[in-house]
Structure 1
Amino acid sequence: MANLESTFRKFATYGDTAASGNDMTSKNFAKMMKECGVMDGKTVTSTDVDILFSKVKAKNARNITYPEFMEALKELSGKRFKGKSPEEALQSIHKLIEGKEPANVGTTKAVAAGGVDRLTDTSKYTGSHKERFDESGKGKGIAGRADLAQNTGYVGNYKGSGTYDKTH
């Protein structure tokens, strides 16, 4: 039973660093049932798990506690292991859950594939885009993105800027 409670606490704190591990959300409950093999898609579906979660939790609560979790397992065991006695079914469901941990399967990781390398290589940039980076490939910031005004009093393409005082 201690093994079962430690599994409950691991799944209860999954994805929430502030969680105490004393109660579990609906999302983590469904994740636990799926990863431990209780939810098989035929006899026990995600809908069954969601309905059961709502049934065993306290009236105005959002999470279930460990005793409510144990009650949910009793109800699920009869549905998951039909034909076995209630005690055998409960033992079978405990064996499925004990000692498991939440997995990070399916999480997205950054991939530096050929396309990404090609698009992030600043030496291949042309036109106005190459002005945004220095020789080492480091971005210049706002200086590389905007034409900054010089406030000299002359129009940008005027060739004789700074010559007025010399002629007059």
Structure 2
Amino acid sequence: MAENSDLTSLEESFRKFAIYGDTKATGQEMTGKNWAKLCKDCKVIDGKSVTGTDVDIVFSKVKGKSARVITCEEFKKALEELSGKRFKGKSKEEAYEAICKLVVGKEPVSAGITKPAATGAVDRLTDTSKYTGSHKERFDESGKGKGKGGRETIVENTGYVSSYKLAGTYDAKVKK
């Protein structure tokens, strides 16, 4: 009974790693990249007895001739292949149980993902209150940009000289 639940949780781990990083994946087949990630995240690769190359070789052995992915059954065969190499002093069954315990219940780890930087330099460079010169005129007091009015001098084509005080009063004079 315990083995049955281990198999279902082993298949669940297979599905989680199979869909990792691929929005179109169904969870029925796993790529070589995800197989290598599973082995690395679940500590199947120890760097001594099992290396990344061993994992790739086992993947190539287990998959079909022209296939690029493995199914859940092939995944279990691949774990059997690696179990003998990973746990040398144990029998085949004990080694397979031990490697299944490494994989069961695990999920892909998202380590090393780049997060947005919130350092002092970014804050200092985007603080509009510290801008000087012509850049200062591009923002209002609240720090909101003025748009085109802040970048360019907008010329009014009224026909009057720019500093003429009585602009627009001609029509009132002529009507008299």
Which of the numbers 32, 38, 53 marks the counterpart of 1:26?
A: 32
2:57 alignment partner AA: I
Which of the numbers 87, 93, 104 marks the counterpart of 1:81?
A: 87
Paired residue for 1:92?
A: 98
Which of the numbers 45, 60, 63 marks the counterpart of 1:54?
A: 60
Measured after TM superposition, the shift of residue 38 of structure 1 is 0.3
1:82 alignment partner AA: K
Unaligned runs of 5+ in 1: 155-159
Measured after TM superposition, the shift of residue 122 of structure 1 is 1.4
Paired residue for 1:157?
A: none
1:120 alignment partner AA: T
SS in 2 for 1:74: helix
Paired residue for 1:126?
A: 132
> Higher mean Cα deviation, 31-40 or 126-135?
126-135
What is the distance in 1 between the residues matched to 2:21 and 2:79? 22
Aligned counterparts, 1:10-25, within 5 A: 10-25=16-31
Measured after TM superposition, the shift of residue 19 of structure 1 is 1.3
Measured after TM superposition, the shift of residue 125 of structure 1 is 1.5
What is the distance in 1 between the residues matched to 2:55 and 2:147? 51
- Map Cα deviations across residues 122-159 of structure 1 (whole Å, 9 max, x no partner): 111122332333322223445545x367485x9xxxxx
What is the distance in 1 between the residues matched to 2:45 and 2:60? 16
How high is the TM-score relative to the length of structure 2?
Answer: 0.78
Which of the numbers 134, 142, 163 marks the counterpart of 1:136?
A: 142
Q: In the comparison of the two structures, how many residue pairs are matched?
A: 159
Change (3 A) 1:54 1:135: farther
How high is the TM-score relative to the length of structure 1?
Answer: 0.81
Higher Rg of the two aligned structures: 2
1:99 alignment partner AA: G
Cα RMSD for the two superposed structures: 2.5
